[in-house]
Chain A
């Protein structure tokens, strides 16, 4: 319990500092917010008119397509909110500042992963959830479906966490594999659309390699009432395995780093 409290405090202080910095650049804050809103709205409008005009997209109707897009945003934004610090990790490693972190009595993994929360998302996330609620209600989901959705969303976030941990491990181990992060983001971006849209072999990549399907399409389908029992089990398994593998990789990378000279 004590560790939890301690980490909570550290996270709060770091985020508070980030917030102070962000407020001072109040203009940055607003402009960024505007940019995100613009992007979001454009795509929703586009999807709306597209599916309206064509009737369906890979078998999904308007509501379903938009719901999948919204689910993508949840995973994308919440993931970025929690793990923003990863984006700042590269200069930390290259500058040698990571050594300073290793010396401190806090988990270096925690420090590299979290603590850079972007407070713009404090605005966008609640709004997102509200919209999600309204669109989701169109499916008249049963309470079981909703619970399943939430469970699979959390699972999706676990997979996101696993990825970020893995990427941190890559930084520590190889020092220069920066852009894997951007690659991950771009692949995740493909999850804006229902995975059924993509043809092989891309679809397989999105289902098995970078499990975008598991993170986004599957939870959405749960809400719509379409997901199978085994689908859920497999998804959760992927999540758990993902975390275990990534943490193992992190430990390995850390060991490699600390035993190598600068």
Chain B
């Protein structure tokens, strides 16, 4: 049983590297996006003593670098491929196989992530050398542990959310890219991928932290930076955990319903 999904990972790995130029360009894109954000903040804080929204130059640039790593781990996903597979009817091929579709995709997803993360690490080192930002190394074990747990949950949460959106073609056959685009546009901001979320007024922050988005990027970075500790850390882990479980149930439910619909239509 374990062997089955390991094999999926393996072939996924190979597939990602099959198109080397594509892979390289995807990495380049990621780097360029980071450049944009880095230089933006670097410029805002060109005066190193300046403080805006509670951040100074060191902190914000650490955030940006944390962003690079966390984003690489969480954001590179294959879940959106599911959308096209359902829409085109390719799902039929998968239905014929004795394998759980969602599980199958999850393993494809994490193996794709694995590669992108590995390369992101290399990029971080290179960019670090080039840009020389101040960097903060976390030594507190609790914070580190919390960070790792949150990252794992972030990966799963993002996968589940994107999978849910990718299930839309079950009912609306042509809606493959548009809903995903909308979802990504929204989550990009609300997850803290462009700017740290504590830039928002406190009232908005409280609402935001009830949603799953901040736990994708912002929270993991904050925990790493040691800015979220103790009770707050506990609360964050709990909220993220609840979302994770809730989304798992939702995905399962929608999958069953969607499958019934798909098979009634006979694509």
Contacts and interface: CB of A to CB of B under 8 A. Distances in A.
- Do A and B touch directly, given a CB cutoff of 8 Å in the complex? yes
A178 interface: yes
A38 B172 contact: no
A204 interface: no
Interface string B27-48: 0110011011001101110000
Contact of A35 (B36, B182, B195): B182
B194 interface: yes
A5 interface: no
B178 A28 contact: yes
Interface string B8-28: 000000000000011001101
Interface string A14-35: 0000000000110110011011
A178 B22 contact: yes
A39 B185 contact: yes
Given A177-B21, A186-B33, A35 B39 contact: no
Nearest to A30: B178
A31 B182 contact: yes
A28 B194 CA distance: 26
Contacts of B39: 193, 197-199, 202
Interface in B160-206: 172, 174-175, 178-179, 181-182, 184-186, 188-189, 194-195, 199
Interface in A188-216: 189-190, 192-193, 196-199, 202
A132 interface: no
Interface SS of chain B: helix
A215 to B, nearest CB: 16
A35 B53 CA distance: 28
B44 A38 contact: no
A229 B42 CA distance: 31
A interface residue count range (under 10 / 10 to 19 / 20 to 34 / 35 or more)? 35 or more
B245 interface: no
Given A39-B185, A182-B25, A46 B194 contact: yes
A46 B195 contact: yes
A42 B189 contact: yes
A147 interface: no
A8 B32 CA distance: 37
B182 A34 contact: yes
Interface string B53-84: 10000000000000000000000000000000
A83 B175 CA distance: 23
Contact of B25 (A39, A183, A192): A183
A38 B52 contact: no
B185 A179 contact: no
B29 A186 contact: yes
Contacts of A97: none
Contacts of A237: none
Nearest to A45: B189
Contacts of A34: 182
Contacts of B178: 27-28, 31-32, 35
A49 B189 CA distance: 14
Contacts of B194: 42-43, 46
Query: Which of B40, B172, B175, B179 neighbours the largest number of chain A CB atoms within 10 Å of its CB?
Result: B40
Given A179-B21, A190-B36, A192-B36, 8 more contacts: A27-B174, A31-B179, A36-B185, A39-B185, A58-B43, A178-B21, A182-B25, A193-B36
20 contacts: A25-B174, A25-B175, A28-B175, A35-B178, A39-B185, A39-B188, A50-B44, A54-B44, A176-B21, A178-B22, A179-B21, A183-B28, A187-B32, A189-B33, A190-B36, A193-B39, A193-B43, A197-B43, A198-B35, A199-B39
In order of increasing CB-CB distance, the 9 nearest A-B pairs are A179-B25, A35-B182, A31-B178, A197-B43, A32-B178, A186-B32, A39-B185, A28-B178, A35-B181
